[in-house]
């Protein structure tokens, strides 16, 4: 996400390394679903652990507070971008608000059995798509991250991601079930795209299913390499321990290239400068991640 946000405003970068303008799917369009899928992997486990330790009431309050804080942080960041002229549209909405709303909408159904949870996720996805086609399309396309309406579709993705997490980690479930559901998601999304275009900007139902399936397959491959082939990725692990802090920090670092508003410094920068800035951005964030891991410091909500 840090790299994609940097590349988004650089003209020299090819279109396949940027978000699709509307209909279509690029590799960058898969970043947000990977974020949502990662949250879904640990959502249920984290809630169950807190319930066993603190009880149902305190656990629910903690999760509500966590997702409200995420949305609040996103609102503060959005307000700062508007004040600094980095958001000419003036619509205060971003990825953190979308995650916050999605997390809150997932909470009431997270403890349902797998099949009812699948039904809840698909019902929410279908309802959103119908409302999008009939009433919300223009408003969604004009809003960052599809605005508040789009959060319904992100929530559907998160709910379905928790289902895949349960299938993957449940020892009583054969791995074939996980592979089958992952494959069905991709196939259903591709089939649905005949009528519902794949679009990250719309968070369309076909986009949700295809990107969810791809995220699930990628996770399975990473798990295979890490656990069965004993491949260790210490830098990835260091980043994963403080994702929110690194996300906020990368926004501050991006300000050093975006705020001067000098085309030759950022948007029209030559290749050598782009490479240098990317190295500074990713290298600086990686150094922070390493230092935090070495100290055993973890920032969490």
pLDDT per residue as tens digits for the range 63-112:
999 999 999 998 888 888 778 776 766 677 888 999 999 999 999 999 99
Strand stretches in the chain, DSSP E: none
Specify whether the backbone of 145 is left (phi greater than 0), alpha (psi in -120 to 50) or beta: left
**pLDDT > 70: percent of the chain:** 98
pTM above 0.75, yes or no: yes
Mean pLDDT of 128-139: 95
* Angle, in degrees to the nearest 10, between helices 95-106 and 31-54: 40
pLDDT of residue 199: 95
pLDDT per residue as tens digits for the range 202-228:
999 999 999 999 999 999 998 888 877
pLDDT of residue 84: 73
pLDDT per residue as tens digits for the range 274-291:
999 999 999 999 999 999
pLDDT of residue 219: 93
CB atoms within 10 A of CB 6: 21
pLDDT of residue 137: 93
**pLDDT > 90: percent of the chain:** 66
Mean pLDDT of 130-152: 91
pLDDT of residue 188: 96
On the question of pLDDT at 264 being above 80, the answer is yes
Residue 201 banded pLDDT, cuts 50, 70, 90: very high
On the question of pLDDT at 230 being above 80, the answer is no
User: Can you tell me the distance from the alpha carbon of 160 to that of 156, in angstroms, rounded to the nearest whole number?
Assistant: 6
pLDDT of residue 86: 67
Q: Give the DSSP H or E segment for 250.
A: helix 243-258
* pLDDT, averaged across the chain: 91
pLDDT of residue 42: 93
On the question of pLDDT at 180 being above 80, the answer is yes
SS3 content of the chain, % helix, strand, coil (to 5): 75, 0, 25
pLDDT per residue as tens digits for the range 148-173:
999 999 999 999 999 999 999 988 88
User: Can you tell me the distance from the alpha carbon of 227 to that of 248, in angstroms, rounded to the nearest whole number?
Assistant: 30
Non-local (6+) Cβ contacts of 210 within 8 A are 25, 185, 186, 189, 190, 193, 198
- Tokens encoding 184: 């069905």
Is residue 266 within 8 Å of residue 246, measured between CB atoms? no
pLDDT of residue 260: 84
pLDDT of residue 52: 94
pLDDT of residue 259: 82
pLDDT of residue 284: 94
pLDDT of residue 24: 93
User: Can you tell me the distance from the alpha carbon of 23 to that of 274, in angstroms, rounded to the nearest whole number?
Assistant: 28
User: Can you tell me the distance from the alpha carbon of 28 to that of 129, in angstroms, rounded to the nearest whole number?
Assistant: 22
**Phi, psi torsion values for 277, nearest 5 degrees:** -70, -40
Nearest to 108 by CA among 130, 93, 126, 124: 124
pLDDT of residue 88: 66
On the question of pLDDT at 233 being above 80, the answer is no
Mean pLDDT of 255-264: 86
């Amino acid at each position: 996400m840090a790299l994609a946000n940097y590349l988004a405003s650089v003209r020299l970068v090819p279109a396949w390394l940027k978000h699709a303008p509307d209909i279509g799917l690029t590799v960058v369009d898969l970043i947000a679903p990977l974020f949502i899928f990662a949250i879904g992997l640990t959502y249920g486990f984290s809630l169950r652990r807190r319930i066993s330790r603190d009880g149902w009431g305190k656990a629910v309050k903690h999760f509500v507070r966590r997702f409200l804080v995420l949305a609040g942080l996103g609102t503060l960041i959005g307000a700062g971008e508007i004040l600094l002229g980095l958001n000419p549209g003036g619509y205060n909405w971003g990825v953190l608000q979308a995650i916050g709303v999605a997390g809150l909408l997932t909470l009431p159904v997270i403890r349902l059995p797998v099949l009812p949870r699948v039904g809840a996720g698909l019902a929410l996805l279908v309802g959103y798509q119908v409302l999008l086609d009939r009433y919300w399309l223009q408003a969604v396309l004009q809003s960052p991250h599809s605005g508040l309406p789009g959060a319904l579709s992100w929530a559907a993705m998160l709910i379905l991601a928790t289902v895949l997490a349960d299938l993957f980690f449940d020892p009583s479930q054969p791995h074939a079930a996980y592979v089958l559901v992952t494959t069905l998601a991709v196939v259903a999304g591709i089939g649905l795209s005949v009528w519902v275009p794949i679009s990250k900007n719309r968070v369309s139902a076909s986009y949700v299913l295809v990107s969810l399936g791809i995220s699930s397959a990628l996770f399975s491959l990473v798990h295979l390499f890490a656990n069965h082939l004993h491949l260790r990725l210490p830098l990835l692990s260091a980043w994963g321990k403080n994702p929110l802090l690194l996300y906020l920090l990368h926004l501050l670092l991006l300000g050093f290239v975006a705020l001067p508003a000098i085309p030759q410094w950022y948007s029209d920068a030559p290749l050598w400068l782009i490479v240098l800035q990317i190295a500074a951005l990713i290298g600086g964030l990686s150094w922070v991640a390493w230092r935090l891991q070495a100290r055993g410091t973890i920032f969490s909500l």
